[in-house]
Amino acid sequence: MSSLRRFLKNLADNLILTRSKDSRPFTVIVEGNIGSGKTTFLNYFKKFKEICVLSEPIELWRDCKGHNLLSYMYADPRQWSLTFQSYVQLTMLNHHTLPTDCPIKMIERSIYSARYCFVEKMMRDGILSEPSAAVIDAWFQWLTRNTAVKVDHIVYLRSQPEVVYQRMLERNRPEEKPISLEFLQSLHQLHEEWLYDKVSHHCPATVSIIDANLDLELVKQECEKINEKTLNPRKIII
Ligand code: TTP
Ligand code: MG
């Protein structure tokens, strides 16, 4: 877990720079396959008053004016993927642009992984028709060029598909019952191409890679060691 410590040091070191340059928070996005531990990872940063933590708005996806778009999408992907990904994109944009007084913002996922991993997979699998994909992509291009979605650092929780598949089965979200190991393998490949090999899409910031195959309890113990000294709040008061 030294990569976790490296990441935190990097984060703390960047605070002075960031605060003196502009008032935008130093923005970290946490990426990784379904079940890689993004929410668990982020939960440990909630205790720092300097960090605004934005977990994934999955409850919104489950209840958009009474409609569970997440379950519709898995039940009938061809019918509902455009609707679902449009809403995901909107809710991600909301997180990217949400004002905060905190000097650091940490977000679960981003408008980037929604487009480069999920929409990409739906396009490759022929789930999203070409016209639908073109509309989603046109919105994505416009939003990333014209709104404040800037990212300063990416944490990639890198995991083996077999490990996250097991976690997903144990977690047992009803909507995710149709997800197979093959689905997670190809989603893993898309994350790898983007954040590890860096060959598929533009990588919007530097990347810290964290081994997310560890038991989540071990990740928890490592995170518990993070204290006010690791993330020195005095550095933040400028
Ligand atoms: P994840 O965004 O991977 O979140 P998670 O909570 O499962 O991950 P972790 O355990 O690491 O905290 O996926 C949430 C669900 O939403 C999952 O079923 C995949 C789906 N999803 C899409 O279908 N399209 C998208 O663009 C995104 C971001 C998620
Ligand atoms: Mg999560």
pTM: 0.90
Return the pLDDT at 226: 60
Mean pLDDT, consecutive 10-residue stretches, the chain (238 aa), reads 66 58 84 96 91 96 98 98 98 97 96 98 97 98 95 95 97 96 98 97 93 79 61 40
For residue 70, the CA-to-ligand 1 centroid distance in Å is 10
CA-CA distance, 39 to 109, in Å (whole number)?
10
Q: Ligand 1 in contact with 114 (CB < 6 A)? A: yes
Give the residue extent of every domain in the chain: 3-229
Residue nearest to atom 22 of ligand 1 (CA): 118
Return the pLDDT at 176: 96
Of 31, 34, 70, 172, best ligand 1 pocket probe by most atoms within 8 Å of the beta carbon: 34
Residue nearest to atom 26 of ligand 1 (CA): 114
Return the pLDDT at 143: 98
From the alpha carbon of 176, which atom of ligand 1 is closest?
18
For residue 44, the CA-to-ligand 2 centroid distance in Å is 13
Return the pLDDT at 64: 98
Return the pLDDT at 14: 61
Q: Ligand 1 in contact with 123 (CB < 6 A)? A: no
CA-CA distance, 198 to 193, in Å (whole number)?
5
CA-CA distance, 200 to 159, in Å (whole number)?
19
The CATH number fitting domain 3-229, selected from 3.40.190.10, 3.40.50.2000, 3.40.50.300, 3.40.50.1370: 3.40.50.300
Residue nearest to atom 21 of ligand 1 (CA): 118
For residue 39, the CA-to-ligand 2 centroid distance in Å is 4
Residue nearest to atom 28 of ligand 1 (CA): 114
Q: Pull the structure tokens for residue 103.
A: 């000097």
Return the pLDDT at 20: 46
Of 31, 41, 56, best ligand 1 pocket probe by most atoms within 8 Å of the beta carbon: 56
Return the pLDDT at 220: 67
